[in-house]
Amino acid sequence: MINARPITTNTMVSAAGPQRQVHPHTSALLAIRTAAETRRVLKDPKPACLLTGFGDNAVNLELRVWINDPQNGLASVKSDLFWGIWQRFRDHGIIIPYPQREVHLKSIPAITVRTGPEEV
């Protein structure tokens, strides 16, 4: 006899973490709420959001969800989760940080600026 039950797959989605001044629990809760409302994400087992580390500009979170139809692809579920998280973060004033770098110039070579033709 062949058992034809659907296979449940664990899908991990890493979301860019919130800025450090936002409490990680707030961001995790918003990500879990988003997952609970996302099409194809199972209610049981429940979605989970893990704190996976501290980045240069953010707290890194990982959202784990379960789906029962991986044969229909994972990209659309991940995309729906990312769009939903982005919108929910935006609605709550949470900014997804982007790396910023400072450049210090020790010396700048002299340049000549001409406003007309060169004189001979």
Dist CA 9 CA 46 (whole Å): 13
pLDDT for 13-71, tens place per residue? Answer: 444 455 546 788 888 999 999 999 999 888 988 988 888 888 777 778 888 888 888 88
What tokens appear for 18 in the block?
């919130």
Query: Are the CB atoms for 71 and 6 separated by under 8 Å?
Result: no
Sorted by where each begins, the domain ranges of the chain are 9-91
Class of the CATH domain delimited by 9-91: alpha beta
pTM of the predicted model over 0.85 = no
Dist CA 65 CA 58 (whole Å): 22
Give the chain's radius of gyration (CA, Å).
24
